[in-house]
Amino acid sequence: MRKKVVAGNWKCNTTLQEGVELAIAVNQLVAEKGAKDVVVVLGTPFTHLTSVISAIDSKRIGVAAQNCAAEAKGAFTGEVSASMVKSTGAEYVILGHSERREYYGETSEILNKKLALALENSLTPIYCCGEALAIRNAGTQNEYVINQLKETVFQLSAEDFKKIIIAYEPIWAIGTGVTATTEQAQEMHKALREAVAEKFGQEIANETSILYGGSCNAKNANELFANPDVDGGLIGGASLKAEDFIQIINAY
Ligand code: PEP
């Protein structure tokens, strides 16, 4: 059965001390009342990875970087490689977030290099895809998002694709307070699962976790996660409050 995953994306928020405090609070709530069948992941800034990993029970909570370099190593000032991420003890890496695509020019070509390096270093990519409002308004969102997959994760072998978590994040819903309706989320997730089935077969499609992201919070998670093809969430703003985050973890 495919995994249910609730992953927090802290983005460029929290000092190291604040991040560790938040991780400790989430860890405590997960230990006290976290749903046992949900994989919980904290996507922290690079600077926090080691300290957050030391502060949590790694049997219950995984940790993700929010990016990794497109090169393995070398003269790339300021970059953090997949092997460096792995060496902190992190198990996941968020790749292709729309903010990275939009503000840092991440193309499918760059993402393919990052995906390959993440997989070579045994990191689980949480691969983000999603359309802008103009594409949604034009009604071409399904083709657009499936094409994002075709250009990237569908280039992988079936063996490697099985290691990927997909996060559908409509750009118009990220950080805006506007959430996709439960119908919009289900329609897209179903279309993505069908595309995975077409490419890699039904068995792999059935096992692929497809998360929803975009203003998902403690109030609406329940309804969104009730959809048969929504396997959890990638959570931005609401992952910065431990009390909200635990409610989302327990929203199934
Ligand atoms: C995100 O950036 O991955 C995200 C889903 O953000 P928010 O929940 O704040 O919309």
Ligand 1 centroid vs 179 CA: distance in angstroms? 10
Rounded Cα–Cα distance for residues 154 and 130 (Å) = 16
Q: Which atom of ligand 1 is nearest the CA belonging to 128?
A: 3
Q: Which atom of ligand 1 is nearest the CA belonging to 233?
A: 5
Ligand 1 centroid vs 175 CA: distance in angstroms? 5
- The residue whose CA is least distant from atom 2 of ligand 1 is 236
The yes or no reply on domain 4-249 and CATH 3.40.50.1970 is: no
For the chain, what is the HEC assignment? Answer: CCCEEEEEECCCCCCHHHHHHHHHHHHHHHHHHCCCCEEEEEECCHHHHHHHHHHCCCCCEEEEECCCCCCCCCCCCCCCCHHHHHHCCCCEEEECCHHHHHHCCCCHHHHHHHHHHHHHCCCEEEEEECCCHHHHHHCCHHHHHHHHHHHCHHHCCHHHHCCCEEEECCHHHCCCCCCCCHHHHHHHHHHHHHHHHHHHCHHHHHHCCEEEECCCCCCCHHHHHCCCCCCEEEECHHHHCHHHHHHHHCCC
Query: What percentage of the chain exceeds 90 in pLDDT?
Result: 98
Average pLDDT, the chain: 98
What burial class does residue 154 get, using C-beta atoms within 10 Å of its C-beta: 0-12 exposed, 13-18 middle, 19+ buried? middle
Q: Look up residue 145 and give its two tokens.
A: 């998002």
Q: Grade residue 252 by pLDDT with cuts at 50, 70 and 90.
A: confident
Q: Grade residue 51 by pLDDT with cuts at 50, 70 and 90.
A: very high
- The residue whose CA is least distant from atom 1 of ligand 1 is 236
Q: Grade residue 237 by pLDDT with cuts at 50, 70 and 90.
A: very high
End-to-end CA distance of the chain: 15
Domain ranges of the chain: 4-249
Q: Which residue has the tokens 């307070």?
A: 177
Ligand 1 centroid vs 211 CA: distance in angstroms? 12
Q: Check whether 73 has a pLDDT greater than 90.
A: yes
Q: In this predicted model, what pLDDT tens digit does every residue of 183-225 receive, in sequence order? A: 999 999 999 999 999 999 999 999 999 999 999 999 999 999 9
Rounded Cα–Cα distance for residues 38 and 4 (Å) = 5
